[in-house]
Amino acid sequence: MTDSKIFHLGFLRFVFASVVCINVLGINAINASQTNPSENLAKTAEKIADMFYALNGEPNNPHKKINHTKGFCASGEFIPNQKVAKDFAIPFLHSSKIQVKARFSLGGGEQSDKSKSRAMALKMQSENSDFWEIAMTNSRVNFAKNADEFMQFLGINLEQKQGKITPQEAAKKRESVSSFVNFAREIGHLGVSPSFADSAYHSVHTFFFTKSNDELVPARFSFVPKNGVKNLNPKELENLNDDFLESSFKKQLKSGAIKFALVLEVAKQEDSLEDTTSVWAHIDSNGEKTIREHITLGELRLDSFSGYECNEEVFMPSILPSGVQPPKDEIFDVRSMVYAITFGRRQ
């Protein structure tokens, strides 16, 4: 077992066992004062993990990854923007260069590169051994705002897979929940990118970044491709097979590092900090464009294809650097627990 796996197994056991309100090393533990006690949330996470296995698992391959199953690895560095780093009490950003391991993948158990979902996960380690792990997709919203909706969404998919309901009945059930409708609308607007390098990836959750004056700045963030988002047209897509993303990524690397800007989108007073199913408004009630503050924290540069070893690892979004506080929404806590459970089962 690698040092990385040993570290994550120990960390994940800690996350799953935590039942009190603490914040250690930037790890988000469950607030015992929440409406759902952490014990109940832990049970829900177990059920969600079971659903993922029922949807994407293989009885003859119990160690199989059951979400974001198809993917590959890359490596490079993150260069903080020193012009803005001085404004933040985040030592991670004060490093000159940060090592990065990246994993690109499709959503769920999807195997066709013609699908719309793209995901990027990162493990970043600074010179002072501060860690930041991130898990994102190309969707700006999640399909659920709480654990109950998470289970309901997977439950509908499972009923359809088991033949208990028709695709039409499943669609009707999804249409009855606003979160699912918002997610479907977001996916509907996405194109199919020709490379993982051509998609933007979004945090969905709101994190809290500490300024030098100790003020907390609530913000969502995105990794935006420096060459812009690109999508295939129908004819281009028709001429491709189900496996083109890896080869296109390798081809782009031959021309130099693949670059993304890490951009914060700062919350406005009227923005929801806990609803992961809605996009923050860019048009006000009068139809005028809303002026939003954006802060570029640095640049991600990926210069190497690294094979598939990272497919066996877990990327935990609750591993945060000092000065970055975790989201306050329930989905973030559920994700951390589900990641802990499924990673443990894969060992």
Instruction: Check pLDDT > 70 for residue 27.
Output: no
Would residue 61 count as lying in a domain? no
Tell me the C-alpha distance between 257 and 245, whole Å.
16
Q: Specify the pLDDT at position 91.
A: 96
Instruction: Check pLDDT > 60 for residue 49.
Output: yes
Rg (CA), the chain: 20
Would residue 143 count as lying in a domain? yes
Query: For residue 31, what are its two tokens?
Result: 């607030």
Sequence letter at residue 66? I
For the stretch 182-215, pLDDT in tens is 999 999 999 999 999 999 999 999 999 999 999 9
Would residue 47 count as lying in a domain? no
Instruction: Check pLDDT > 50 for residue 164.
Output: yes
Is there a binding annotation on residue 339?
yes
CATH of the domain at 234: 2.40.180.10
Would residue 31 count as lying in a domain? no
Q: By C-alpha distance, which of 146, 118, 58 is closest to 335?
A: 146
For the stretch 267-285, pLDDT in tens is 999 999 999 999 998 877 7
Tell me the C-alpha distance between 137 and 307, whole Å.
20
Number of domains the chain is built from: 1
Tell me the C-alpha distance between 44 and 151, whole Å.
8
Instruction: Check pLDDT > 80 for residue 14.
Output: no
Would residue 344 count as lying in a domain? no
Q: Specify the pLDDT at position 4.
A: 53
Active-site residue, selected from the candidate residues 68, 202, 205, 282: 68
Would residue 150 count as lying in a domain? yes
Would residue 18 count as lying in a domain? no
Task: Provide the domain limits for residue 230.
Answer: 70-323
Would residue 172 count as lying in a domain? yes
> Do 300 and 100 meet the contact criterion of CB atoms below 8 Å apart?
yes
Known catalytic residue: 205? no
Query: For residue 319, what are its two tokens?
Result: 């591993």
